[in-house]
Structure 1
Amino acid sequence: MTHQPAITQLSALLGDRLVTSQADRDLHGQNESYHPTLLPDAVAYPETTQEVSEIVKICAAEGCPITPFGAGSSLEGQHLASQGGISLDMGRMNKLLAVNDEDLNAVVQPGLTRVELNEELRATGLFFPLDPGANASLGGMAATRASGTTAVRYGTMADCVLALEAVMADGTIIRTGSQARKSSTGYDLTHLLIGSEGTLGIITELTLRLHGIPEAASAATCRFESVEDAVNCVILTIQSGLPMARIELIDEAMVRGFNIYSDAGLPEKPHLFLEFHGSPAAVAEQAALFGDIAEEFGAAGFQRAEKTEDRNKLWSMRHNAHPANKALAPSKGIISTDVCVPISKLAEAIVEAQDKARDMGLSCAIVGHVGDGNYHCGLNVDTSDAEEMKRAKEFVGLLNDSALRLGGTVSGEHGIGLGKTSYMHAEHGPALTYMRAIKAAFDPKGILNPGKILPALNH
């Protein structure tokens, strides 16, 4: 084994929390998308920041790659050990360390998931609003700059993290940011580490913004005759300044999947799923104003979900988009990809994506956090069919090109990982040189999650 010297030393440090069994390596080498299984040489389970530091020091001395692992729910292979080495499973660092309710923040370890955090916060009257669908780890959400269904109102992880503790590539432990809501001191290392996908440092603690649980919340659904009508309704809603908590597009193919998987009983037409937060009067006013806008675009079947259990049922259905997409073609796999465009270009982008998939003979379901211009395409693909895989990858490339042409980005949520490195130059141009310089300065030996984000120099 290439990295045996590091593994021998880590075994002495961690004992039975350094695991080389085939089962553990298989678990950490799999992913939710089309990327091949990539096995680490060993899996480490640290329990403290100091242990993470010691692990990194050993790996740095031996030139052994380290790939942080949260819940394994990323869709672009961020958690895969592309060059072997150590998979650093942060699952045992899963404590809520402090709740500072008067300052509306909480201090957490990276292995705590967003559902676990909200369960522990329930008695405080506070909540953490980001909801990417999967019960992702908070460290993983920060590392990938996650967002989700509520980002249109509450922002992304970049807006929700006040401070970090991180272990750098030489084992040094640093702290960035503070509990203060703003700072004018030095370089913003907090936001440099957020979204760096474990390539610049390993997050070991986060200070997160919290919000008061809204006095009232109401969800709703409505349907449209076309995706274009639904998206134009979203655009006018956002441009009108309505403070939507969630506004999700479900195209007709995805509705069909929900009907199969969740027995939703929805007419197979494009839908919007919505949620409003605020006082009872504000929620009622928001719903009425949205209804007026939706009527302009021919909306029908407007249904409200006022009770908590009804709202949870609605969003549970939305969170199950991946298995619902698979239900459209159970024998096939799913390639899930996302892009984000300015909302003024959203209708054009989504209609173009649907037309391209149809012309290429691909089954494609679209869902999106369209209030901020972000949408996801799920392709049903036989991964053993080389020709179909070629068409699917060509479609992803065309989708990325379209997003850039319309002034957007090749990913608003899933990140780069292994899957989209080849588009980094097209999006960032000469700025990519400076990203490489940052990587070299932070990780001169290239041991932190190698192969992610930055394309090879000869690309």
Structure 2
Amino acid sequence: MNLVSELGKILPKGRVSAGEDELKRHGGGFFTYHAPHLPDAVVFPRNREEVLEVLRFADERGVPVVPFGQGSSLEGHTVPVRGGISLDMNGMDEILEIRPDDFLARVQPGVTHGKLNAALAEHGLLFPVDPGWDAAIGGMAGTNASGTNAVRYGVMRDQVLGLEVALPGGTVMRTGGLAMKSSAGYGLTGLFVGSEGTLGVFTELILRLYPIPTRILAARAVFGGIEEAAGAAVAIIRSGMKIGRVELVDARTVEAVNAYKGTDYAVEPTLFLEFSGGEGGVEEDVAKAREIARSNGSLTFEFEEDEAAREKLWEARHEAGLAIQNLNPEKSPMSTDVCVPISELPGALGHARDAIASRGLDGAILGHVGDGNYHAVFPVDRDDEEDLRRAEEVNAEIVDYALARGGTSTGEHGIGSGKMRHLQREHGDSLAFMLGIKGLADPNGIMNPGKIFASAEGARELSGESY
């Protein structure tokens, strides 16, 4: 079968490509250490009907389909490890409806976080999930993304009220709706959010919106050690104040940001904080946070109200991953993504620092510590087996530490192809149920194969069960 010519019969001219540049762009993930693998074709649908035609075609012929957004895939979610079709959803980028009185928006999956918030600003509204760069909403839902605002607003699963999903057989399922809550049947919306493209393709999303706060202040608190910074973060959360963001970066991350952005932040573990709300409450929260930071050993505490200064501060935090990668541009970044109960955070960060140092790696630690989620990032030479082995050992140690304390192997980036064995250890007793759902939605196994669990057979072998 000539896949490209066959697809060309069901899609308009120019919507199917096997060009070298497109295959390479869709064959690797951005900010990932996972090896690239080229698809056989890239398809660019513009509407639901075209998505359904592609899925119908692929399902009948057993051709793998991998949904593709921006490609910023930490765990290789968009890498087509078994070839087939890379389904580029960026052409479906319409904001279908904004309902300011209902605090809702309906969007297509290719709409980016930035585009949506630019359109919402005139209504005094925002979509709060902030993944750090201008990701597509469909991809954010696919991995249940969170980001810097999660401590206040929650994650993608908290913001998606309904979905339109194209299923492999070429049918459509609609979950949820326009109401803010419902007890009607199983919570299928929450099931599809975080399914990493293994069950179907999002063609429309209904999103919850929020008012833009009237007052916002940002602050930086500098500490002499990472445990002290984490202890302050825990105390700030326990205080009950309405804080919007609690982000931690270690000294190595600050060093990378300074080199990348030309800033001159103190090269010490630092908390980046944001306070928002009404006029009086924000000042009270800042004063309380300053005192908490001081009691936990902060060296300095500075805050910014000017919008340009705040944007500069958060730009530095958002680009920290790129800055870390820039320290070793010839290598690929491996990043952990664990989340622990908030009380375990200081010990977890100290353990991560020691695990990195014990292997002689040039690692950095940063994270959304307000909800216990942090990342250890270290450069890896994919062609050096010893380098890769050391990095994977550190990754496994950090995951082990989190799981032993009731945490999770992935707080916001998903399983992909990188954490399948960790999923078995974390939720092995649920694998049979997960595979049953996968088999119901995708009986021919065409949707993003090789992700979450390598195969039904592989999952059975891992769990030692028969089902």
Per the normalisation by structure 2, the TM-score is: 0.96
How do 1:123-272 residues align onto structure 2 when only pairs under 5 Å count?
A: 123-272=122-271
Aligned residues: 456
SS of equivalent residue, structure 1 residue 121 = helix
CA distance in 1, matches of 2:141, 2:284: 34
Query: Does residue 24 of structure 1 match 2:22?
Result: yes
CA distance in 2, matches of 1:84, 1:328: 32
- Deviation per CA, 1:194-221, whole angstroms, max 9, x where unpaired? 0000101110100111111110111010
The alpha-carbon distance between structure 1 residues 85 and 332, as it changes in their structure 2 partners (threshold 3 A), is closer
CA distance in 2, matches of 1:65, 1:45: 15
- Deviation per CA, 1:377-434, whole angstroms, max 9, x where unpaired? 1102333322111100111111111110111000001111011011111000211111
How do 1:338-417 residues align onto structure 2 when only pairs under 5 Å count?
A: 338-417=337-416
Query: Does residue 281 of structure 1 match 2:283?
Result: no
CA distance in 2, matches of 1:128, 1:269: 32
**Quick one: which amino acid aligns to residue 14 of structure 2?**
D
Q: After the TM superposition, which of the residue ranges 102-111 and 6-15 deviates more from structure 2?
A: 6-15
**Quick one: which amino acid aligns to residue 74 of structure 1?**
S
Alignment partner, residue 104 of structure 1: 103
Q: Is the 8 A contact 2:35 2:382 kept in 1?
A: no
Residue 282 of structure 1 and its aligned partner are, at CA, apart by 1.4
**Please, which of 1, 5, 9 is the counterpart of residue 8 of structure 1?**
5
Query: Does residue 290 of structure 1 match 2:289?
Result: yes
**Quick one: which amino acid aligns to residue 20 of structure 1?**
A
> 4+ residue stretches of structure 1 with deviation over 4 A?
none
Q: Is the 8 A contact 1:44 1:89 kept in 2?
A: yes
CA distance in 2, matches of 1:405, 1:107: 40
CA distance in 2, matches of 1:228, 1:204: 44
Residue 129 of structure 1 and its aligned partner are, at CA, apart by 0.9
**Quick one: which amino acid aligns to residue 398 of structure 1?**
E
Q: After the TM superposition, which of the residue ranges 448-457 and 180-189 deviates more from structure 2?
A: 448-457
CA distance in 2, matches of 1:199, 1:331: 32
Identity rate, percent: 45
The alpha-carbon distance between structure 1 residues 54 and 327, as it changes in their structure 2 partners (threshold 3 A), is closer
**Quick one: which amino acid aligns to residue 192 of structure 1?**
L
- Deviation per CA, 1:89-113, whole angstroms, max 9, x where unpaired? 0000001110000000110000010
Q: Is the 8 A contact 1:193 1:200 kept in 2?
A: yes
SS of equivalent residue, structure 1 residue 363 = coil
Alignment partner, residue 85 of structure 1: 84
Residue 269 of structure 1 and its aligned partner are, at CA, apart by 1.1
Q: Is the 8 A contact 2:362 2:379 kept in 1?
A: yes
SS of equivalent residue, structure 1 residue 340 = coil
Q: Is the 8 A contact 2:336 2:398 kept in 1?
A: no
CA distance in 2, matches of 1:149, 1:365: 18
Residue 330 of structure 1 and its aligned partner are, at CA, apart by 3.9
SS of equivalent residue, structure 1 residue 246 = strand
CA distance in 2, matches of 1:189, 1:5: 36
CA distance in 2, matches of 1:244, 1:228: 20
Alignment partner, residue 119 of structure 1: 118
How do 1:65-80 residues align onto structure 2 when only pairs under 5 Å count?
A: 65-80=64-79
Residue 326 of structure 1 and its aligned partner are, at CA, apart by 2.3
**Quick one: which amino acid aligns to residue 233 of structure 1?**
A
Residue 296 of structure 1 and its aligned partner are, at CA, apart by 0.7
The alpha-carbon distance between structure 1 residues 61 and 22, as it changes in their structure 2 partners (threshold 3 A), is same
CA distance in 2, matches of 1:21, 1:130: 34
CA distance in 2, matches of 1:424, 1:332: 27
Alignment partner, residue 35 of structure 1: 34
Can you give the 5+ residue segments of structure 2 that lack an aligned partner in the other structure?
463-467
SS of equivalent residue, structure 2 residue 9 = helix
Per the normalisation by structure 1, the TM-score is: 0.97
SS of equivalent residue, structure 2 residue 146 = coil
Residue 6 of structure 1 and its aligned partner are, at CA, apart by 4.8
SS of equivalent residue, structure 2 residue 301 = strand
CA distance in 2, matches of 1:385, 1:428: 31
SS of equivalent residue, structure 1 residue 214 = coil
CA distance in 1, matches of 2:322, 2:206: 33
The alpha-carbon distance between structure 1 residues 309 and 133, as it changes in their structure 2 partners (threshold 3 A), is same
Residue 187 of structure 1 and its aligned partner are, at CA, apart by 1.1
CA distance in 2, matches of 1:338, 1:155: 17
The alpha-carbon distance between structure 1 residues 22 and 329, as it changes in their structure 2 partners (threshold 3 A), is closer
Residue 5 of structure 1 and its aligned partner are, at CA, apart by 5.3
- Deviation per CA, 1:240-259, whole angstroms, max 9, x where unpaired? 11111000011111111112
